[in-house]
Structure 1
Amino acid sequence: MIFLVLSIFQKNKKKLLLPTSVALAFLFFIIQSHFNSANSTADSIQPIPINEAIQPQESPIEFLEDNRIFVEVKGAVNMPGVYELAPEDRVLNAIELAGGYLPTSDSKGINHAQKVEDEMVIYVPIEGEEVESLLSSSGESSNLVNINTAEIALLTTLPGIGPAKAEAIIAYRNEQGIFKETADLMKVTGIGTKTFEKLESLITIK
């Protein structure tokens, strides 16, 4: 079979030479074009450098300072309660938020110009009520509660002292006599060392 093909090719090689050359040239052109196209595509794909990769943007975390101040107003005001004020506010602003004074109030011992402080308690006594000077003219808090004379309303302005403990303090005074020193307050049922530590700088016996 091979010899037959070769014999035919030898007899007609002049006629087949041109078509064969054209076919080979065309085939070479197609192969070359395909190869160049593949190289061009490969060159166009470039890797993204690591340092140029898109990094997610982190939103800055803002820490907002809480400047709110909460003050409790008690006693002879129209609306006793806890009120939110600004650091530059004064005692007068707290009294106004509480609806102002009752007709029976005694505000002579209150320094209305004093700046308020967080967790501050402003107690407004009624006329004739014996209360230590509540707010000093120097602007420093001097609202010491006299545990020998204060009644329930004033005693409950102290931290950790509710109506029940206030009644226990008054009952102790009636049964045992006045407190000879502030530390004697721990002799009252329900008032321990931790509670007294919170009260020590806020009370007096004179």
Structure 2
Amino acid sequence: MIDWLKANKLYVAGGIIIGIVFIYFLIDPLEDQSNMFEDEEEWLDDEENVLKGNVEDEAEVVMKVIVDVKGAVRKPGVYEAESDERVIDMINKAGGLTETADEAKINFAIRVEDEMVIYVPEVGEEMEQVEGTVTAAGSTEQADGKININTADESQLQTLPGIGPAKAAAIIEFRDKSGPFKAIEDLKMISGIGEKSFEKLQDSIKVK
């Protein structure tokens, strides 16, 4: 046997090498496949984290604001609200209207904003315009004579220079989808309101 191995050592060595190579290529694809599954799991985990992050970012868009509800409501007081809530929501939080409340003088649809005062007058009550009270008579024009573009309805927006029905509707649609304007300059994001149009508006508008 030993003599045979010596005589055929080249063949034996070649057979061993071929066997090692065969075993290597048999095992290597299995390792690659295992790594592929691990990479896929990591990719799925990353995608899940991204999706969770998007949900969290979207949730952070809604901010908390503080609103003072006064007048003919059952539970006057200071209430916390979310920035996408309306006057009607705050009146409900305050227990609803009293029997003497003058509903005709309230714009229930106005979106609330921080430090807003909601004053509900009684029937027959004569009201003087109070700075910061933007919903008492459905009006957003205050003592400074400016229109709040975050709370004005279409008819009020159309009192502004160069704002017709189409642009007024576009302003309301924009703030409903994107939230309140943060600065008066944001009005230029509305189609049809360029730099020249804004110059005519800037002294007549505000966002708070």
For the criterion TM > 0.5, the same-fold answer is no
Higher Rg of the two aligned structures? 1
> Structure 1 length normalisation: TM-score?
0.35
> Structure 2 length normalisation: TM-score?
0.34
Structure (1/2) with the larger helix percentage: 2
